Structure 1
């Protein structure tokens, strides 16, 4: 079941940005908080912490790639130990992806909702929220999925959101609403290639 599509590139871009700029963001937030020596100590400790978190995150991804859902407890331990970092959020989304592929949708939904609540990155939050709605849809939680979609305000995902709304409405038997949603999605810059086929099916 393919619940992850091109917005995976968004997550990768955010992950790469965080690796390159995460330390600078933390440093910038604390400028002026202490004297020179205190600042140097804080700077060195934060750099070490970020480097350690980055290295451990890399190991997490490698473990998931090698072991799949069998590594879920190891990954959960990493998430729990680093819950105040964005690396834990990214690890949760990666674990959710593996769980989805293994058909463990309830577990995946739990991971995604945790990640949704613990990221302070607006773009990443929107991507995660879209994934939450997808899993809710697959679980038959249609009204919850529609409510989740209503919370996504990121304009870069307009087409994806509208298309998924159409999918949910189709499953609910609302073909008119689905057609409207698909038409809206087709006009967005991020429209998928499958939209026309969905519209054609509705027109039959």
Structure 2
């Protein structure tokens, strides 16, 4: 095995603490953000939340972070759904009972909701939604999408891209932002957090994209480790 540590670039912001934990002595990891997150002031969206709902949907940790200051004031419904274990954990820390589909994607979530025959549902989301839940749920469901944060694309040319062995995408929007001014060589391995991000990467011309068994950072790092070691 080559003693040289694989050098990986994440296309999202990583704190120094998180970067060090992910490196774990086996990798060299750098962060080159191609998106930034801006949270909406609660006063801008609070009035959009219906007084009575059957369920809430959270498809990202960012939505949970945006809504958490007002949780106790919003009238928690009987059902709260999350896509992804980390999103669910954040909601459980707020003492909410959370249901999670077996597969971490919008289609599996829609099927789960349809089985319960729920009607009035609120989806707390960002301005860039990976999937149209309204179409997946069908006309019989009254879905209200409330934008609580915005994803801004920070497009730029990455001049040292050839210095990396692998590149990691955590969202389709990061793929979109990166691809505007950059391209991946055949020698660079692409890792994606989940199937929707992989699809975006393939649409951008990237090949042999690897996704983890579960759409979590821990599972993703396991996949990266398995590839290189």
Q: TM-score range by the shorter chain?
A: under 0.3
Q: Give TM-score, length-normalised by structure 1.
A: 0.28
The structure with the largest alpha-carbon Rg is: 1
Q: Which has the higher helix share?
A: 1
Q: Which has the higher strand share?
A: 2
Report which structure shows greater RCO (CA 8 Å, sep ≥6).
Answer: 2
Q: Give TM-score, length-normalised by structure 2.
A: 0.25
